[in-house]
Structure 1
Amino acid sequence: SHTQFSGNHKNLKKAEIDTPVPQCDDDDDDEEGWITPDNIMKYQEKEQILNVKTKKDESVDIKVACMTTDYSMQNVLLQMGLNLVSVEGARVKKVKSWVLRCHACFKITTNMEKQFCPSCGGATLIRTSTSTDMNGKVTYYLKKNFQYNLRGTKYSIPNPKGGRDANNLILREDQKEYQKAVKNYRKQKEVDIFDPDYVPKLFIGSGSSTSCGAPVIGYGRRNPNEATRGKGKGKKKR
Structure 2
Amino acid sequence: MAEPSTQAPEVATPTAEPPKDEVHFAHRAKKLVLDAGAIIKLQRADNFAKELYTTPRILGEIRDRQARQHLANLPAQLKVRSPDTESMKSVQDFARKTGDFGFLSVNDMEVMALAVMLYGESGCDKELCKAPSMARFEDGGDKGRKAFSWRPEGEQEKSRGNTMLDTTESTAAPVTEASVEGDVQKDEANDDDEEEEEEGGWITATNFKKYARDNHESATKDGEEETISEVSIMSADYSVQNVMMQMGVDVLSFGGFMIRSVKLWALLCTACHTVTRDTSKVFCSKCGNDTVYRVPVYVDSETRELTVTRSRRWEKMTSKRNKGSIWSIPKNRGGRQSNPLILAEDELLMSGRDKEYRRKCNQFEKERQLHNPFASDSLYQADPLMGWCARSTNSRGNALLGDSSSAPRVEAGYGRRNPNRGNFKHTKGKRK
Query: What is the one-letter code of the residue matched to 2:344?
Result: R
Q: Distance in 1 between matches of 2:309 and 2:377?
A: 47
Q: Distance in 2 between matches of 1:27 and 1:227?
A: 53
Q: Distance in 2 between matches of 1:149 and 1:125?
A: 13
* Structure 2 gaps, min length 5: 1-198, 228-244, 251-260, 370-374, 403-407, 425-430
SS of the residue 1:31 aligns to: helix
Q: Distance in 2 between matches of 1:39 and 1:153?
A: 64
The residue number in structure 2 matching 1:169 is 341
Query: Given the superposition, is the C-alpha separation of residues 40 and 117 from structure 1 closer, same or farther in structure 2, using an over 3 Å criterion?
Result: farther
Q: Distance in 1 between matches of 2:392 and 2:218?
A: 40
Q: Distance in 1 between matches of 2:226 and 2:333?
A: 62
The residue number in structure 2 matching 1:211 is 401
Query: Given the superposition, is the C-alpha separation of residues 119 and 21 from structure 1 closer, same or farther in structure 2, using an over 3 Å criterion?
Result: closer
Q: Distance in 2 between matches of 1:21 and 1:36?
A: 16
Q: Deviations over 1:101-149 (max 9, x none)?
A: 1122111111111111111111221111111255524321233422354
Query: Given the superposition, is the C-alpha separation of residues 144 and 170 from structure 1 closer, same or farther in structure 2, using an over 3 Å criterion?
Result: closer
Query: Given the superposition, is the C-alpha separation of residues 131 and 34 from structure 1 closer, same or farther in structure 2, using an over 3 Å criterion?
Result: farther
In the alignment, structure 1 residue 145 sits paired with structure 2 residue 340 = no
The residue number in structure 1 matching 2:419 is 222
Q: Deviations over 1:150-209 (max 9, x none)?
A: 312332111111111112112123434742235313430344445555855xx6799994
**Residue 217 of structure 1, CA deviation:** 2.2
Query: Given the superposition, is the C-alpha separation of residues 188 and 26 from structure 1 closer, same or farther in structure 2, using an over 3 Å criterion?
Result: closer
Kindly report which structure 2 residues correspond to 1:1-238, keeping only aligned pairs within 5 A, or say none.
22=201, 25-31=207-213, 42=224, 69-70=246-247, 96-135=263-302, 136-142=304-310, 143-146=313-316, 147-174=319-346, 175=348, 176=351, 178-179=353-354, 180-190=356-366, 191-192=368-369, 193-196=375-378, 197=381, 209=399, 211=401, 213-219=408-414, 220-223=417-420
Q: Distance in 1 between matches of 2:343 and 2:364?
A: 23
* Structure 1 gaps, min length 5: 1-19, 46-67, 71-85, 89-93, 229-236
Q: Deviations over 1:18-58 (max 9, x none)?
A: xx99566444312255599957964999xxxxxxxxxxxxx
Q: Relative CO higher for 1 or 2, CA cutoff 8 Å, sep ≥ 6? A: 2
Query: Given the superposition, is the C-alpha separation of residues 33 and 108 from structure 1 closer, same or farther in structure 2, using an over 3 Å criterion?
Result: farther
Q: With the length of structure 1 as denominator, give the TM-score of the two structures.
A: 0.51
Query: Given the superposition, is the C-alpha separation of residues 28 and 150 from structure 1 closer, same or farther in structure 2, using an over 3 Å criterion?
Result: same
- Percent sequence identity over aligned pairs: 22
Q: With the length of structure 2 as denominator, give the TM-score of the two structures.
A: 0.31
